[in-house]
Amino acid sequence: MQSISQFYPLLLKKSTIVITSHQKPDGDAMGSSLGLYHFLKLLGHDVTVISPTNWADFLAWMPGIETVMNYDGNKPKAQAVLDKADVIFCLDFNILHRTKNMEQPISDAKCIKVLIDHHQQPQTEAFNYGISDTNKSSTCEMVYDFIVGAGYSDSINKEIATCLYTGAMTDTGSFRFPATTGSVHRMVAHFMDLGIAHTEIHSNIYDSFLENRLRFTGFVLSSRMEVFYEYNTAIMHVYSNDLKKFEIKTGDTEGLVNIMLTMQGIRFAAIVIDRDEERKWSFRSKGDFDVNSFARAHFNGGGHFNAAGGSSYDSVDETRNKFIQLLPEYEAQLQ
């Protein structure tokens, strides 16, 4: 994989470009995709954002979201667009299988592939150009650096800024996580000078849920959470029937795992959710407990040092029991 800076001259050549991210895109994945989309459109490129799957309703307000294609929702049309691409930008994932059913089509594509990502252990051999920097707060910050590094800082407009701010805000926990460096605040200052509505953006993301989501949150906190104080750990397990009972949709479980870290003394939090075809894990930690390594070692996952995901094809109860049985191995690290 060549340096991302080697790709800069290719921005001058009008191209057909596809931008994609990981399945079930979050604020950073969609924000970076749409921020890059608006930038590349300004340069005159033919650009399409293709999401591997659907996305959360709380992202529906974002500028340009109406143009995004759902690969799983309309595979023939999305595949036709993908087949015509001169360049595929891959944002906010480190390995192709995180694009679900798009993995093989992207792998088979003969066009130029560009990676912009901040997760550990990237699949560098799959990309022609790219950058992977685990020290960055978000992929949105990296797209900002890409635009500025290529010499187009003055091209950043309110639409681009709004999209990139959204991802930076969500991936930093509203700018409270350790990855929130001075460069993040300098980027945000640039966006504020452009006139972004930061209060409105925050409200669109965090204040737009329905009553059923709030009741679901109360239910899982009271009925599906277990706390193991001897390991400074908390876990939630959610069955598919729970999701159906409360009519939970994509995005409604976002952030639940973080709530458990608000408890005094808890350093490790995990949630497993029954997604029918598999059980999906989310892991979060405080301090020096590496959930990326934990997820890779035990749950076919990975991500960041303090935030990672994983999966299992065992039942909810089986994979939950496996998690609990692993805790004694990590007792010293969790004290």
Residue 141 has pLDDT above 90, yes or no: yes
Alpha helices in 119-235 (DSSP H): 139-149, 158-171, 182-193, 198-206, 211-223
H/E segment holding residue 310 = strand 307-312
Average of per-residue pLDDT values in the chain: 96
Q: Indicate yes or no: pTM above 0.85.
A: yes
Give bridge partners of residue 226 from the DSSP assignment. Answer: 235
Query: Do 125 and 193 reside in the same domain of the chain?
Result: yes
Instruction: Supply φ then ψ for residue 99, to 5 degrees.
Output: -95, 10
Tell me the pLDDT band of 28, cut-offs 50, 70 and 90.
Answer: very high
Query: Do 86 and 132 reside in the same domain of the chain?
Result: yes
Tell me the pLDDT band of 205, cut-offs 50, 70 and 90.
Answer: very high
The residue ranking higher by pLDDT, 63 or 208, is 63
Domain boundary among 171, 206, 241: 206
Residue 311 has pLDDT above 90, yes or no: yes
Query: Do 75 and 179 reside in the same domain of the chain?
Result: yes
Domain boundary among 156, 181, 206: 206
What residue numbers bound the domain in which 215 lies?
Answer: 211-334
Average pLDDT over residues 306-318: 94
Contact status, residue 167 vs residue 32, Cβ threshold 8 Å: yes
As given in the structure block, the two tokens for residue 103 are 């993995």
CATH, residue 9: 3.90.1640.10
Instruction: Render pLDDT for 12-27 as a digit per residue (tens, 0 to 9).
Output: 999 999 999 999 999 9
β 279-285/268-274 pair status: antiparallel
State the pLDDT at residue 12: 96
Which strands make up the sheet holding 225-228, listed edge to edge?
225-228, 233-238, 268-274, 279-285, 307-312, 302-303
Q: What percent of the chain has pLDDT over 70?
A: 100
State the pLDDT at residue 303: 87
Q: How many residues does the chain have?
A: 335
State the pLDDT at residue 276: 78
Q: Distance between CA atoms of 174 and 6, rounded to whole angstroms?
A: 33
